[in-house]
């Protein structure tokens, strides 16, 4: 057998696949988000998913969203760290300047600030279900101003199965 395999996954499938696998670690009952930061030469630098900060137990802190407005202290929003921020903070190797981030949901305004300031230059996102929210609109406003490129992942339709 001297020919190479032809059905290997491409870079985009690989990195969005890693982001999706990372999202599977999330304890959020409603929205699981995963992120994978990749260098310009396609090396994985970091990964993250949405979760509570270290030491903040998933058993003690609230994962509900229904009290967001009436009782925000007992809803998840004040506590959950977004996947993109976790991926940025998880990186201990130095600079993320010029890197790309693959993420399963379009980054919010807070993550956009962190992405811009970290020097990440490209966002490849899978879903944009909150596109009409002020948060995502503000995010795009900042990303556009800062020259961060973003585009939607184009699904290949390939099913990648792994048994663990
Ligand atoms: O960019 C994001 N990254 C991210 O990790 N998240 C997380 C925070 C919450 O745990 C969850 C959103 O919850 P919900 O869809 O129920 O409002 O997703 C939410 C966003 C918003 O775009
Ligand atoms: Zn965010």
Domains of the chain: 9-150 (3.40.140.10)
End-to-end Cα separation, the chain, in angstroms: 28
Helix (H/G/I), strand (E/B), else coil: 104: strand
DSSP-derived letter for residue 126 is: E
Q: Whose CA is nearest to atom 14 of ligand 1?
A: 31
pLDDT in tens, the chain (164 residues): 689 999 999 999 999 999 999 999 999 999 999 999 999 999 999 999 999 999 999 999 999 999 889 999 999 999 999 999 999 999 999 999 999 999 999 999 999 999 999 999 999 999 999 999 999 999 999 999 999 999 999 999 999 999 99
82 marked among binding-site residues: yes
Give the phi and the psi of residue 159 in degrees, each rounded to 5.
-95, 125
Candidates 59, 84, 110, 161; catalytic one: 84
Residue 149 contacts residue 122 (beta carbons within 8 Å): yes
Task: Name the β-bridge partners of 47.
Answer: 36
Q: What is the pLDDT of residue 14?
A: 98
111 marked among binding-site residues: yes
Q: Whose CA is nearest to atom 19 of ligand 1?
A: 82
Task: Name the β-bridge partners of 51.
Answer: 81
Q: Residue 150: name the closest of 100, 91, 88, 86 by CA.
A: 100
Q: Which residue has the tokens 């509570």?
A: 52
Enter the ipTM.
0.98
Can you tell me which atom of ligand 1 is nearest the CA of 30? 16
Q: What is the pLDDT of residue 2?
A: 86
Active site (annotated) includes residue 68? no
Residue 112 contacts residue 120 (beta carbons within 8 Å): no
Cα(41) to ligand 1 centroid in Å equals: 29
The CA radius of gyration of the chain, in Å to the nearest whole number, is 17
Cα(131) to ligand 1 centroid in Å equals: 12
CA dihedral 71→72→75→76, nearest 10 degrees, is: 180
Q: What is the pLDDT of residue 58?
A: 97
Can you tell me which atom of ligand 1 is nearest the CA of 129? 22
């Amino acid at each position: 057998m001297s020919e190479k395999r032809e059905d290997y996954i491409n870079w985009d499938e690989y990195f969005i696949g890693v982001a999706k696998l990372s999202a599977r670690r999330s304890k959020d009952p409603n929205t699981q988000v995963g992120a994978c930061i990749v260098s310009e030469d396609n090396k994985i630098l970091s990964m993250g998913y949405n979760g509570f900060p270290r030491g903040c137990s998933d058993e003690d802190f609230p994962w509900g969203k229904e009290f967001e407005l009436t009782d925000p202290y007992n809803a998840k929003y004040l506590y959950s760290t977004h996947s993109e921020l976790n991926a940025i903070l998880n990186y201990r190797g130095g600079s993320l300047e010029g890197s790309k981030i693959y993420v399963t949901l379009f980054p919010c305004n807070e993550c956009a600030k962190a992405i811009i300031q970290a020097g990440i230059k490209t966002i490849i996102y899978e879903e944009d279900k909150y596109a009409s929210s002020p948060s995502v609109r503000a995010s795009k406003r900042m990303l556009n101003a800062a020259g961060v490129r973003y585009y939607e992942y184009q699904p290949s339709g390939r099913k990648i199965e792994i048994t663990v």
